[in-house]
Amino acid sequence: MDEDLKLINRIREGDDGAFSLLLKRHHRMIYKIIYSFSLENGDYAVDKDDLYQEASLALYQAAGTYEEDRKVLFSSYAFMVIRNRLLNTLRAYYRTYEKERYSIDVYERNDGRSLYVSDNPIAYHREQELKENYACFMRKLPERDRKILLLKGEDLSYKEIARQLKLSEKQIDNRLRALKKKFRTYLGE
């Protein structure tokens, strides 16, 4: 920590060599973040060197904006700045370049879902399969259970669902737990 602060002060004074040293100190963390964004097959949408360059810029930004009096380690602060910068880089890439590769009807990318699901064709198709299984599962349920799941799908609280169906919150909670278990069993078949 003390070494980071010395390097940050030297960077703020205009010492370019200090940034090289800071980059070397946090080299492993940067690669750890980059590799955490790997897709299921180990493929990367953006070249790893480009991501490293973005991460380096983010580290430089973190050195400039770090406030010592916040009682947060520089490495923790830098980790968040770098991670957020890389997430934004990947999201921008998907919005601009990848959108053209897949038809919007087949493969939506701008719907706000997680990078790991919406930006991976394999995960997308698994999700579609899960939706189909869920629809079949729903058709086999009694009317009351279907209503509970539909209302929960509308992001209603247990209290709101209970009020609409004239049941207690505990009944809703128990029923949803049972339905989750039943759905897992259904998927296992």
In a domain, 116, yes or no: no
Residues 13-47 have pLDDT tens digits of: 888 888 999 999 999 999 888 887 664 334 556 67
In a domain, 101, yes or no: no
Task: Determine the pLDDT at residue 175.
Answer: 92
Q: Are residues 88 and 150 in the same domain?
A: no
Task: Determine the pLDDT at residue 118.
Answer: 44
What is the distance between the alpha carbons of residues 182 and 189, in angstroms, rounded to a whole number?
11
Residues 124-180 have pLDDT tens digits of: 666 677 778 888 888 899 999 989 988 887 778 889 999 999 999 999 999 989 988
In a domain, 64, yes or no: yes
Task: Determine the pLDDT at residue 92.
Answer: 76
The residue behind tokens 């087949």 is: 106
Could you tell me the residue range of the domain that residue 160 belongs to?
A: 141-189
Choosing from 96, 125, 151, the residue where a domain stops is 96
Task: Determine the pLDDT at residue 121.
Answer: 54
DSSP 12-59: HTT-HHHHHHHHHHTHHHHHHHHHHT--TTS--SS-HHHHHHHHHHHH
What is the mean pLDDT of the segment spanning 92-119? Answer: 47
In a domain, 111, yes or no: no
Count the domains in the chain.
Answer: 2
Task: Determine the pLDDT at residue 24.
Answer: 92
Query: Is 182 within 8 Å of 151 (Cβ atoms)?
Result: no
In a domain, 186, yes or no: yes
The CATH number assigned to the domain holding 159 equals 1.10.10
In a domain, 68, yes or no: yes
**Cβ atoms within 10 A of the Cβ of 107, count?**
16
